[in-house]
Structures are given as structure tokens and as C-alpha cells.
Structure 1
Amino acid sequence: MQEPVTVSEFGPEAPPPPGVWRRWWRRQTPVRQDRFAMLAPLAAVALFLAAIASAFLYLRLEEMDREQEAVKRDVEYAQQRVRLRLLERQEQLMRIARDISNLEVDTEEFAGRAESMVIQYPELQALSWIDERRRIKASYSAPSVPNAHLRAEGTVLRVGETETMYGLARDLQQPVYSQPTAGSDGTGMLQLHVPLTLQGKFGGVILGEYSIDGLLRYGVPADVSAKYAVALLDGKGRVLAGTALPARNPANLLPWATRPNEYEVPVSPVGNGLVIRAQAYRTSLGVIGSGLFWLVGALSAMTAWMLIGNWRHTRRRMQAQHALIAETNFRRAMENSMLTGMRALDMQGQITYVNAAFCQMTGWSESELVGRTPPFPYWPESDREQLAARLDDELQGRTTTGGFQVRVKRKDGKLFDARLYVSPLVDAKGHQSGWMTSMTDITEPNRIREQLSASYERFTTVLEALDASVSVAPLGSEELLFANKLYRLWFGVQTAGHLQMVAQAGVPDHPRSDESVDDVDSFVGLPTSTLTAAQSENAEIFVPELGKWLEVRSRYLNWVDGRLAQMVIATDITPRRHAEEQSAAQAERAQSASRLITMGEMASSVAHELNQPLTAINNYCNGLVSRIKGKQINEVDLLAALEKTARQAQRAGQIIQRIRSFVKRSEPNRTLSDVTLMVNEAVELADIELRRRNVRLSHYVAARLPTLLVDPILIEQVLVNLLKNAAESIDHAQRPAARRTVELRVVPKHVEAQPVVEFSVQDSGAGLAPEVMDRLYEAFFSTKVEGMGIGLNLCRTIVESHQGRMRAENLYNGSEVSGCRFSFWIPVSGAPNPLANKNAGVTA
């Protein structure tokens, strides 16, 4: 036991010397000395009794902890049993709900399953099938359920009955337990709502009703019920089922036994609405009959009274000591944990203090630095005059507020850059005792700044050397944030060129509101992530001031100051545009030449076709002349002969007009064209060549085809070329008369979810060789001796210019090639053609 210390004239901090106690003891009377001498054994006895009381209290607390742990363990075991029982019933109800959702269970089978479950599990009182209109489709209840709680099939739930849980199960689409309630007849009920899903929609619930008394009776193990008073409570602590022990008399409780020997825990998955509680039956003696308790209490009070004085004084001393130690440790830890080096100088420039960070930066220890005078060891030899002048300015009070940069030498000789800040050092009395200097290593920031400067210089050099104009301007402002050399050469340093390119390219811009007078971004606060993450927009424009065609690409970006800006990159594409125009003109001339070549190859057939109406006209005229000279013709015969002569002349004129329109060179003219008319025109032109080669043509045009936005002459050129090639392939293969057929089909299709019209020409020739298939569309490649090799190349060019595709494939009869099929499709760009039905059909 610590010897008590009193406050005397010697001060609160220092105890009195031993001689004082001896003098005080000698001044006491013998009676008093004997009395004080008796207190020693009494104190020893008090300490002994206190030890006994402590041991009694310890054993009693240990016993109470063991009892409490036993109650807790048994209650948690009972809660797990009840929880598993609820989860098993929940899983069974979810299985029934799943079968109902899959339309595998009707009301009769549901009633049978419900009856089986209610009989098998006594805690389950009723099962009901409720549809989405809160109407009971099927229900089964245990015989013990009162008539007032029975649910009749076909009835609707009463207003307010389970309405909250029913709506919660419908919204959450998962099983929901209701808050258990105690009935008026003393029977508590717990409801479980399991939602039904019919064809992806809410289809009602399966309502299961549990008896809380049944859960307690069949869910709690018998050994737990025998050892404790077990009860199920609601969220407000009211008993729903089971028994509860009466409250104990506080007068009989020990001071350390205020906690009742009971434990309660919520029952999941119901939650805090259902709590299971167990109370241990009383097995110990009453507090009043425990004499040992009162003896220990009295001795403890005496001991506490004797120690209280010494404890108070000792506590005050320890508090002051701990505060001093904590303050010292805090200041030392703060100084040692700082990354900034600290150095203190007296008024003469001598180092009086350095922290750990300063020593770590310089490499010199505290003992090597404290007490040193200028020049200091961490001064580089080449900078000593400059640093000495700086130190003199510090000592004279001429300090710089923003600090200054110097070079510092480490102990190993290496140099680093540092920034120093100087401030006066004032003591506790308010007098300046020196100067405090803080030092920060800025070697890495300087290196990063130099790298950034070099990177910016490289970036600027690259942009200035680009052969494209680059400009950046904020939205809603006429300020030019950036412009490279080519932009300045074209448009100067104004934003007019940037805005002109944006306007001509059709990119939306947003001028700043006239009402705003502050030079701020009008888009502050708006989400710009979608704009800056979008792909760039391209456009080709012509700038009259420059006389150039420019390809303009623009995109949005966040500028360095946070404003939303628009970057425009313009590339000079004037040579490319000229090349494209020349290429288009050459393609047009090639198309006209191809049509002339086609008609040249068909010249003999065309001459034969024209010879027939001209011969008929000659015969009709000679016959008329002979009969008129012999006066053997009347007016009726004369009119009939003249009408036949006129029809033959008209036929010859139509053939010549069709050929002239086909070979006539004209600018491409895309219009909404009727597919059937184009096919008929092409068939009439190609039919001359097919009949000359003794090839039979059959064509099919589907009904109700939409109109196509095409140049009809070019599409007819493709069809004529394919039909003519098919006839030549059959003729070259020397097929017999029965197999000399060409089929033309025009049908609607969908290619990659896009509606198209497909044209296919199928022949019965010898097909295409593999080496020919690889070079089929190559310019100036032909399998014909007299061919020029531009027909199929032009055909594919024409089709692709109409956003279509063309392909060729061989047809097989087993392993033998039985023909070839060329097909191409054109995307639909018009409404369905009402005239397509009139000319649709099959022609042989």
C-alpha cells in the first residue's frame, strides 16, 4: 500500500523530509502511540477481509457469467431451431408459388398440398391463395382455427386486412413476414406473404399463417423449455406466447446482480417484430440471508474510506505528471514526424535547434549541427558568399514573405534544391530570442516543372508543324484559346475563321446570352461528360476567301480552366476533291462507253430486230401498190393494211428510241423509280441478244415492291450487262435447247435488318473458274477474246454508288457446276409502289 502524502508547508510538489515524521511521532502521548500501533493489525485484518470479499465477489460474478452464457447459448440454439423451421416452411411455400407461376398447380391441387402441409406441420394454421385483386382463390385452415379467422374461397380480403404486407410483397417481389399480433382469444398469428409471378406480372400471393404458440411449442427444444421460462414477444415487448417470470424484488438483489439472468434475441427472418426470450428460474439464496455479503460490504466501506484520501492526492499528482509527459511526447512526435526541416538560430546566427527532418535532408546529425556558426557545413562552397548575405539579411530582419530558393549540400556531397522560409522566434515572455527557418526539398517539383516545360515545347512544335489548321475556342464566346501556325496563316488571330468553319460544317454552336455581363462559362453546372466523350464530327466545306476545300473535324473538350470548348481541325483537301471530280467524270465516260460497247456487240441482233418491221412495211406497201393499180382493194382493206404498216413503223421507232436513250450520255439523275418499269426496259433491250443466241428468258418481279431512289438508266445498264453475259455463258457452254434458260428474279429482302430489293440473274452455263472468281471485278480483266474487261467492274461500281452490294456464285448439281448466279441489292428509300401489282408476274 502506498504511503499517503499530504500537502504541507513544504509545497505540493515535494513530500516532507523523514525527520518531520519522527518529530511528529515523538510529540504524541503514549496512549496515542498505542492507539496508532493497534491500527496496524486492524489494517492487516481489513486487508484480509477485503481479499475474502473480493474473492467472493469474483466467484459470484464468474457464476453469474456462466449462467448468463448458458442462457445466451440455449436461447440462440432455440432461435436457430425456430428460424430453420420458418425457413423450411418458407421454402415449401415458395416452391408452391413457383409451381403456380408455371401453371402446374390449380386450386384443387393447391388445396391438397395445403391440407398436407397443415397436417404435417402443426405450427402452420392456414394456407391461402390470393390473386392480384385480393380475391381468395383457394384456402385451407386447420380445424383449430376459429370460424372468425376462416377465409372462404371467392371472397375478397377485408379493407385493411394484410394490406400493407400484401402491397410490400407486390412491390418487392420477395417473401414478406408481417408483424405478429396477439388475437382477442389469446392466440397469436404470424403471416408470410409469398408473391406470385404470372407471365412476368404480379399474380397475387400465397398467404401462410403460423400460430405463434405452435412455433414456441414445436420449434423450441424440450430441454430448453424445461430449464427456462421461454416466451415469444412482439416488437414492443408484449408476450405473444409462452410464460414470463414475475419481476424480482429490488430489495433482494445484490448490487452486482442488477442484470437479470435472462436473454432475448430476434427471430430471423421475421426480424425485430418477433423476439424469443428465456428467463432462468431462481436457484440461489436471498440476498437478505447472506450474512457474508454484509460483512464484506462493511469491510469494503471501511477500506474505501481509508484509501480515499491517499487516492485523491495521488490522482492529482499523476494527472499533472501524465499531462506533462503527454504534452512533451506530442511536441516531440510532431517535430519528428514533420517532412519540413526546422532550424532555429539565436540572435548571433548560431544554430540552437534542428529537427529530425532537417537532419535527414542534409545528412548531418543534430550533434554536428547544434552550436555551429556560419559558414554552416551544408552550404555549398560556390554559394557561400550568397548564403552568407542571405543569413545577414535574416539576422537584420530583412526577410522575404514568399521565401527564397537555395542549393543545399548533403553530407555525401550531393546537392538538392530547397526553399527556405524565415520567421522570428518569440519566447514565452514575448521577447524575440532568435529566428526560425523552415526548409522544404523542391528538387522533384523543379524536375517536374522542367519536364512540363519541355513537353509543352515539344507539343507546340508538333502542332505548329502540322499541315492542318488547329483552333480551340470556348462555347458561347469569341475568345480564341489556341491556334497553330497554319490557322494563323489562313485566318489570322481572330475567332472569325473558327466560327465560319463551324457554321459551314453544320456543327451546332451556342452563343453566349446577351443578358450575361460576366465573362463566365454559360454552361457551368451542366453535364459535359457526354459531349467530351462523343466522337468527332466530320464535314467538307469550301472557303471562298481561301479558294480551298477543307475537311473539318470538330469535337468538344474540357479546357484547362474547366470551360467547355470546341476544337476544330481543318485539312486542305482541294487536290483530293479535284481528283475525285476527275475520277467521277472518267467513271461517267466509262459507263457511257460500256453502254456503247454493249450495243455494238448487239448490233447484228438489233439490225435483225429492225429488219423485221422494215420488211413488213415494205411488203405492206408493195401489196397496197399492186392492189391499188389493179383496182382490187376496197376502203376497209386499205385502212387495215395502212394500220398494220403504221404499227410496224411505230415498233421500229420504239426500238431505235430505246437504244438511243440507253446509250445517250447524261448526268446521273437519281429519282424514285418503279422497279417493274426498269426491269421491263432492260428485258426488252436484252431480249434481242437472248433470242439471237436461242436463250429463253423467264423473269419474276415480286408484287408490291417499294420505289427505289436510283438512276434507272444505270440500273438498266447493270441488268442488260448481266443478262447478256448469262446468254454468252450458255452459248459458250454449248448447252442443249432444253437447258438454254436464264432466270431474272426481283424480290424484297432484309440485309442486316435493312429492307432492300434484290436483283438476281441465274444462268445454266459452265460457271466461273476459281481463278476467274478471284479476279472477277478487276478492271480490264476478261475471259472473252474480244472482251475489254470493264463491264462487271462498272456494274459493281454502279451498284456500290447506290449503297448496294454485288456478288457472284456458282450453282452445283451434286459435284457438277450447273450454272452461275449474279445478284445485287439496292436499299429501299421510298414508300411501297402501288403500281408494282399491275406489272408483276412470271413471263417465259
Structure 2
Amino acid sequence: MPSRPSAKPLLSEPLTPSRWWRHWWRKQTPHRQDRFAMLAPLIAVLLFFAAIGSSFMYLRLEEIDREQEAVKRDVEYTQQQIRLRLLERQEQLMRIGRDISNEEVDAQEFVSRAESLVAQHPDLQSVSWIDERRRIKASYSAPSLPTPLVRVVDTLLRPGGDTESTFSLARDLQQPVYAQPAGKSEVVPLLQLHIPLADRGHFAGVLLAEYSNENLLRYGVPAEVLAKYAVALLNGNGRVLAGNAGPIHSVGTRLLPWSSQSEAYEIPVSPVGNGLVLRAQAYRTSQGVIGSGLFWLVGALSVLTAWMLIGNWRHTRRRLQAQQALVSETNFRRAMESSMLTGMRALDMQGRITYVNTAFCRMTGWSESALVGHTAPFVHWPEEDRAYLAARLEDELNGRTPPGGFQVRVKRRDGSVFDGRMYVAPLIDAVGKQTGWMTSMTDITEPNRIREQLSASYERFTKVLEALDASVSVAPINSHELLFANKLYRLWFGVQTEGHEKLVAQAGVPTIPPSDETMDDVDAFAGLPTDSLTDTQAESSEVFVPELGKWLEVRTRYLSWVDARLVQMVIATDITPRRRAEEQSAAQAERAQTSSRLITMGEMASSVAHELNQPLAAISNYCNGMVSRIKGNGIAEADLLAALDKTARQAQRAGQIIQRIQSFVKRSEPNRSPSDVEHMVSEAVELAGIELRRRNVRLSHYVAARLPRLQVDPILIEQVLVNLLRNAAEAIDLAQRPTAQRNIELRVIPKLMDEKAGIEFSVSDTGRGLAPEVQERLFEAFFSTKAEGMGIGLNLCRTIVESHLGRMQAENLYNGNEGTGCRFSFWLPLAQSSIAQIGPANTPPTPE
């Protein structure tokens, strides 16, 4: 049958793109059709090569990103392991430090505990107990410590060294300080931890622990990380402290160079900081995309594909495109599933496991074949939790799981159990139909352990504060919110801030004024130096609380609260028993001072009687003479008046002696008032002069001109001077000096001490001086070198001087190697109003 010509498209039919393409192709000549047929495969080949190049570049970039992410993830995980290891050691060392501060551990017990700690933890090399004067009280080092690491104490804490500066930093901060001291090239560098010790709130030294960087890297880095990376510990300057420092790593029989810097990652090790950096660099385990045989195989296949496209381009193009897309998608999804750390599990609508990824199998320890296709109860369910897990599975299949996931216990194949958190989402296929449920699981065993440790630490901290015998309260500045109050505070003041504010007000602690209305309401303290406030030392004062009937010692300081607010902490301690004891001590000291003056007058009784005998005898002689002459009418009126005037002066002299003695021994309350120095000296010289004349001792005294007044009790200062002058006379009498050498010198001059202006009183004698054993116990109570002495004179003198904020001392005088006497001196400070009045000390006249 003859073939019919092809029918032309009717004009009435719609012109679709396919119809238009066929119509255009048929209109072309055969030659042009051949050219287009050849051009199309070439264009397809070029596009295919471009697609292949882009794919390899994309795969290479994806490979680099995955390697970088893996390095970063493993390094951060390793840093957490080292950090937890350091924090665990730090907690154990801090417990030893608290026992030392509580005086529960002596040097022998410390060495025993340090030996046990070093034996348990190979990364810990040595533990030393150093007091506040930088002296090592006890120390223990690991027996395996190399000889270059055994350091001399003087070298360890020499001035200007790294360890000495870290010691000072720990003393100032009062918290643990890590340091990486710069050691010599032949000494293996160690990591040091300084833990400050406290003794009743004062710095009492440090607990120095030294870690081996090599052992810290060996035992702190997981084995799987060491197998994949070249791990090293660096200091802040980039120096390698421990780890692999070589530039190559062996793979099989070939030595391949390290990967590029893009596959390396470093991070500071907390809590050490920038002084210790963990660095890891991935080993090259392959030759890369371009260096692998796959690249050349694909290149060859591309050439073959180009030749096949020239011969049969339609069929080959479609097939290769479908195959390449399927391989690429499958490889990508498989790589993505294998590199995930989160376990993935898919269930169908009946609760049967249809899919698990590599991470899920690695977590549970079961293979994919042992999990896929099974229904509840699953093999990774613990027997004791199966009822609970069955209920959770029922909720999961019914879509009743919480968005935040839920926590379960999962059993591994070896029988161990770990905590996991599961998140559930519907599994939707390509056509939008739900075919099951997708579950993701993460291991939260370590976060749970850390949370439990933090909870236990907080409970211990709260118990300690609740058991304190001091009131502790914390409140924000210019706020009525009470952030914290311990048990004693609640017992005294309740749960309101009135007690806190009253203690701050009575203690006179300056507070930060509230902001004006024109200031920003969001931050009322904008621009204020809060850092300097929190770094200042705690202020202390003593106040009396009438509501409690107690004396309290109030200590305050500023803190930065957990929410970054500036707060004020107040610690109030009951010091009522101490204040009562101080009052009783002051009363006893006053009675002792009066008794001392009475004893002094008793010892001077014979001298006083002799001194009074002279004016009384003169009065008797004058009266008898006047009576005799009046009876004989042999006295003129002028002579009578002169005799009566002399009698009156002698009586006045006797009265002055008695009045001075009465004022000296009179018991009265201490009365500090502006007192003239020259008047006090003259009164003391007048009183002591009676005893000096009896012992045939000459006194020369010098008082500088224009001395300001002292804010003192003049009777007490006179008592000190009289006691010193009498002791000097007794020392000269005991030494049996000749008349020419029986001299006492009293000097009163202005003097600066510790950059404070004051006046110095000194009494020098020509006795034998003080023996060394006497000089050590000179100011002790009830110690005396006299057979009949009570041993309270010099002790009271020093108590009186120190109560006036002064100082007292004694020293021997020498002429070459020969002792020529003793010098007692005491210094009294000037009041601020009197400092400007004092002028330069006048030079005393040269004695004749």
C-alpha cells in the first residue's frame, strides 16, 4: 500500500511548543540538521564537563566543611574533658585547703593526703603547702618526677619570678589562679594551680599544685581523638608544651604531610584561660578528591560518555543523568547520616522500627539488623522501665509527645544504661502523606551528671551559710528587694530588708546616690565605676542594735550579682561578749593605774616626808623666833611682817606638795583634753624630784619650744614620766655610780613616725643597762627585776601609751663596747588640728 503523505497541521489546531519544534525541525535542510545534531552533543559534553567540575568543587568544599566541623567538635569535646578533669582536681585540692584553714590538717597529714592524691591522678606531679611568708611548710612530689623537675624552694619563690607573681595574684584575688610559668629549655613545663588559704578571713598562704602537661594530655584526651588528630598543648606564646610537634604522620607505608591550616583548630582550656591552649590538627587519611582514582575514573567516563553522546546522545544522556543524580544523592545522604552525632530512628504507623542511623547503633551498641523490623518491647529498653517506655511509645504513636522532648533510660548491648532525650516528629513522604514517626535521640548522661554536681554544690554552699554564727544578707543598691538572707538574719530581722538597711546606715557605709529624674530609668548607675567598688576591701564597723540588745560587728562590700546587678553584702557578727570583756578590761586597767600611782607614792613616802619636813620645820622656827622676840619686845613691825611672809610661803609650799600628791593619786575617769606638754613635764619633774634628791641624782631636761598641745589625759602621761624617772634613778643607784655620773636626761622633741607627726619623750640614765633576757620580757605583766617589785609599772606605762595610739620602746646606750646606760622613750601622735602648729625642733643647748 502506498504511503500517504503526512498531513499538514490544520490551522484550526492549537500550536503547542512541541508542535512548533517539530515544525521548525522539518523545515531545516539535512545538512543543517546534521550540524545541529553534531553541535548538540558537543554542547551537552561541555555542559557535562562544567557540571562535573562544579560537582567536584562542591564536594571538595563540603569535605572541607565537614572536616572543619569534625575537628572543632572533637577539640571542644576534648577541652571539656580536660576542663572537667582540672575542676575535679581543683575541688579535691580546695577541700584540703579548707581543712588546712580549719586547722584540721597538719604537715604530716597533708603529706599523706597529697601522696594519696598524686598516686590516684597521674597528671598531678606535686602538691605543696606554702604559708603567707612564701615558706614551704610541707610538700610531696610524685616518685616518677624527673630530676630536672625537682625545684629548689628558693628558686621556686624567688622575687620577680613567675611563681612569686602568681602567688601574689592568688593572695590579692583570694581565689584559685592557674599559671603556666616560663621554664628553662631543659625543664619540662608544668601547669601550676595556686589555691589561697584563709585563716579567720586573713590570707594564710597558698596550696600549690603542679600538673604535668604531658600526662594531662595523655590521660585527659580521649583515645579516639588522639587516633584522628595531632593534639598538642600550647602556652600563650604558641610554644608547644606537650603533644605531637612533628609535621608528618604515617599512613600505611607512606608518610603523608599534615593537612592544611583550615583543618586545624585551637581553643583555650578553661579554667586556665589563654595561658593553656588545646590545638588539634587532622591527619590526612586520603589523597583528596583530585588525587584519588575516582577523579580520573570519572574523567575517563566523561570522555566515554562524550563519545557515546555523539553516537547515541539521547539515550545515554538521560541514563547517565539519572544514574549520576541517584549516586550523588545516595552518597550525600549516606555521608550525612553517618556523620551525625544524633541518633535517628523511624517507626511506621504500627510502631515497627523501619530505619536507624549509624549514631543510633553506636549509642545502643546494637546493629541495624538487630533493630530494624522489630516491635515493642525493643532490645534497648531496660527491663525495669518497660512499662513506662511502652506508655511513652503509645503517646508517640498517637502524637501526644511534648515539643521539648522527654527523657528516657536506654540500655546498651553490654548491659550499661545511659540517659537520653528523645524528640518526635511526623515522618512525611514525598507526596505529603504521613508514613510514620521520626525520633531523634541525644545522650544527656554527662549534662545530667554536671547538673547533679551543681545541685550538690549549691546545697553545700547553702548549708554552710545557714550554719554560720553571723548574719549574712544581700540586697541591691537603692532597692527594697532582699536577694539572700541566711538563718541568723531571718531570726534577728525577719525576711524584710529593714534590718539590712538599718545595719548599713548605722555602720556609716557610703551608698551610691539614686539617679535623678533626668537620667535613664533602665540603668540608674550608668557610668559609675562599679568595677572599682567590687574590687575594694570589705569595710568594718561596730554598732549597737537596741532592738536586739547586742553589739554587732558589721562588714560590708559590693558584689556583682549573678544577673550583673550591683549589690551590697552585709555580714553582722555578735560581739557583745567581746565588748563586755573590753569594758571590764578598761575598768581593771583604770584601777591598776590608780593602784600603781598609790604604790609609787608609797615607795616615795620617806622622800615626801623629808620634803614636807623642811617647810614645816621652817614654819616652826619662824613662829618660835617671833614668839620669843615679841615676848622680849625686841622685834620691829617690819621684821615681824617679813617673818610672817616667809612663814606663809613655807606653808604654801607644803600645801602645794600635798595638793600635787593628791591630784596624782586621785582616782578619776580618763579625761583626754588639750594638754600643755611643758606643764605636764614640769609637774612630773616636780613629783619625781623628791625621789631624785633623796638618791642624789641630778636631772637635766629639755623641752622643745612652741610644741602644740596633746589630746591626752595629763595625769596618765605624768604617771608614765614619773615611773620612768624613778626607774632611772633606781638603776643609777643600783649601779653605784659616782656623784659625777649620777645623771638623768629628759628630752621632749617633735618627731615623725610612719609619716605621722608626734612628740617623743625620752629618759636616759647612766646605769648598767638592760640584760638581754630582761629586755625580752621588759613589758610583760608581773615581771620585775626588783625583789619587792610587783611587775606592773612598765606594763601599765606601755598600756597607757598605746591607749593614746602611741608607741613605747627601750634600748641600751653604748660607748664602744661598754654599756653606759639605758634609754626609755615613748611617742604620742598629734591631733590633726595640731599638726599645722608644730614647727621645726629647736636644737637643745650643749650641756656644760
Shift of 1:438: 1.3
Which of the residues 354, 364, 367 maps onto 2:366?
A: 364
Conserved in 2, the CA contact under 8 Å of 1:524 and 1:563? no
Separation in structure 1 between the aligned mates of residue 635 and residue 837 of structure 2, nearest angstrom: 50
Q: Deviations over 1:306-338 (max 9, x none)?
A: 99x99xx99999999999887766655544443
Equivalent of residue 797 in structure 1, options 796, 799, 808:
799
CA 1:838 to 1:375, structure 2 compared with 1: closer, same or farther past 3 Å? closer
Answer with 686-695 or 346-355: which moved more: 346-355
Amino acid at match of 1:775: R
Partner of 2:475: 473
1: distance between equivalents of 2:321 and 2:728?
112
Report the AA paired with residue 831 of structure 1.
I
Aligned to 1:501: 503
What amino acid maps onto 2:806 in structure 1?
G
**What is aligned with 1:732?**
734
Alignment partner of 2:790 out of 784, 788, 811: 788
How far, CA to CA, are the matches of 2:718 and 2:639 in structure 1? 41
Does the aligned pair in 2 maintain the 1:704–1:832 contact within 8 Å? no
Deviation at 1:772, TM superposition (A): 1.4
Distance 1:755 1:699 in 2: 22
Mapping of 1:363-762 within 5 angstroms? 363-510=365-512, 522-523=524-525, 526-762=528-764
The one-letter code sitting in structure 2 at the alignment partner of 1:605 is S
2:776 is matched by which residue type in structure 1?
D
Alpha-carbon distance in structure 1 between the residues aligned to 2:731 and 2:610: 22
Which one-letter code corresponds to 1:392 in the other structure? E
- C-alpha separation between the residues in 2 aligned to 1:517 and 1:328? 63
2: CA distance, partners of 1:588 / 1:425: 93
Which secondary structure state, in structure 1, belongs to the residue aligned with residue 362 of structure 2? helix
- Could you tell me whether the CA contact under 8 Å between 2:749 and 2:841 is conserved in 1? no
In percent, how many aligned pairs have the same letter? 76
- 1:625 to partner: Cα distance: 2.7
SS in structure 2 at match of 1:755: strand
1:831 to 830, 835, 839: 835
Please state how far the C-alpha of 1:580 moved relative to its aligned partner.
0.9
Q: Which amino acid aligns with 1:601?
A: E
Give aligned pairs, total: 540
Mapping of 1:45-124 within 5 angstroms?
none
Q: SS where residue 749 of structure 2 aligns?
A: strand
Separation in 1, partners of 2:836, 2:658: 32
Going from structure 1 to structure 2, the CA distance change for 1:772 and 1:834 (only over 3 Å counts) comes to: closer
SS of aligned partner of 2:594: helix
How far 1:838 moved relative to its partner?
12
Alignment of 1:175-324 (within 5 A): none
Question: Counterpart of 1:693 in structure 2: which amino acid?
Answer: R
Question: CA distance change for structure 1 residues 727 and 334 in 2, over 3 Å: closer, same or farther?
Answer: farther
C-alpha contact 1:498 1:568 (8 A) present in aligned 2 = yes
Q: Quick one: distance in 2 between partners of 1:835 and 1:391?
A: 96
Q: Which amino acid aligns with 1:792?
A: L
Residue identity in the other structure for 2:788: E
How far has the Cα of 1:655 moved from its partner? 1.4
Q: Counterparts in 2 of 1:341-360, with a 5 A limit?
A: 341-360=343-362
Q: Any idea what the Cα deviations from partners look like across 1:3-30, whole Å, max 9, x if unmatched?
A: xxxxxxxxxxxxxxxxxxxxxxxx99xx
**Match for 2:835: what amino acid?**
A
| Stretch of structure 1 that moved more, 757-766 or 788-797 | 757-766
SS at match of 1:571: strand
Rounded to whole Å, the distance in 2 between the matches of 1:661 and 1:486 is 50
Q: CA 1:555/1:833 → structure 2, altered by over 3 Å: closer, same or farther?
A: closer
In structure 1, distance between residues paired with 2:413 and 2:426:
28
Indicate how the Cα distance of structure 1 residues 386 and 641 shifts in structure 2: closer, same or farther if over 3 A, else same: same
Contact 2:750 2:841 in 1 (8 A): no
For residue 423 of structure 1, give the secondary structure of its aligned residue in structure 2: strand
Paired residues of 1:707 and 1:832 also in contact (CA < 8 A): no
Residue 591 of structure 1: how far off its partner (Å)? 0.3
The separation in 2 between residues aligned to 1:530 and 1:782, in whole angstroms, is 52
Partners of 2:591 and 2:420 lie apart in 1 by: 77
Following superposition, the deviation at residue 722 of structure 1 comes to 0.5
* Segment drifting more, 534-543 vs 625-634: 625-634
Structure 1 counterpart of 2:781, from 779, 782, 786 = 779
Answer whether contact 2:784 2:790 (CA < 8 A) is retained: yes
**What are the Cα deviations for residues 581-639 of structure 1, in whole angstroms up to 9, with x where unaligned?**
11100000000110111111111111111122222222222233333333333333333
Runs (5+) with no aligned partner, structure 1: 1-26, 37-305
Q: Counterparts of 1:595 and 1:352 in 2: how far apart (Å)?
A: 106
Residue 810 of structure 1: CA displacement? 1.7
How far apart are the structure 2 equivalents of 1:835 and 1:628? 59
Partners of 1:518 and 1:489 in 2: how far apart?
Answer: 38
Alpha-carbon distance, 1:833 to partner: 5.2
For residues 354 and 347 of structure 1, the distance between their equivalents in structure 2, rounded to whole angstroms, comes to 16
Q: Against the structure 1 CA distance between its residues 609 and 321, is the aligned structure 2 distance closer, same or farther, given a 3 Å change threshold?
A: farther
Query: Is the 8 Å Cα contact of residues 744 and 766 (structure 2) preserved in structure 1?
Result: yes
Aligned partner of residue 826 in structure 1, secondary structure: strand
Structure 1 residues 532 and 517, CA, compared in 2 at 3 Å: closer, same or farther? closer
Would the alpha carbon gap of residues 434 and 527 (structure 1) be closer, same or farther in structure 2, given more than 3 Å must change?
Answer: farther
Identify if the C-alpha distance between structure 1 residues 317 and 654 changes in structure 2 by more than 3 Å, giving closer, same or farther: farther
Q: Which residue of 2 aligns with 1:153?
A: none
Task: Tell me if structure 1 keeps the 8 A contact 2:704–2:842.
Answer: no
Distance 1:408 1:836, change over 3 A: closer
- Check conservation: 2:515, 2:525, Cα contact below 8 A: no
Of 498-507 and 314-323, the range deviating more from structure 2: 314-323
Distance 1:751 1:513, change over 3 A: closer
Shift of 1:642: 2.6
User: Secondary structure of 2:716's partner?
Assistant: helix
User: SS of the residue aligned with 1:456?
Assistant: helix
What is the CA-CA distance between 1:478 and the residue it aligns to?
1.5
Cα distance, 1:740–1:400 mapped onto 2, change above 3 Å = same
Q: Is the 8 A contact 1:730 1:763 kept in 2?
A: yes
SS in 2 for 1:493: coil
Q: Can you list the C-alpha shifts for 1:17-64, whole angstroms capped at 9, x where unaligned?
A: xxxxxxxxxx99xxx9xxx9xxxxxxxxxxxxxxxxxxxxxxxxxxxx
| Aligned residue in 2 for 1:768 | 770
- Measure the CA separation in 1 of the matches of 2:838 and 2:465: 58
Gaps of 5+ in 2: 1-29, 39-305
Q: Which amino acid aligns with 1:346?
A: D
Q: Structure 2: how far apart are the matches of 1:538 and 1:841?
A: 49
Q: CA deviation at 1:407?
A: 0.4
Letter in 1 for 2:686: E
Within 2, Cα distance between the matches of 1:524 and 1:835?
48
Larger-Rg structure: 1
- 1:516/1:381 CA distance change after superposition, 3 Å: farther
Tell me the TM-score normalised to structure 1 length. 0.59
1:801, CA displacement in angstroms? 0.9
- Listed one character per residue, the Cα deviations across residues 285-313 of structure 1 (whole Å, up to 9, x for unaligned) are xxxxxxxxxxxxxxxxxxxxx99x99xx9
Mapped to 1, the partners of 2:463 and 2:367 lie a distance apart of: 49
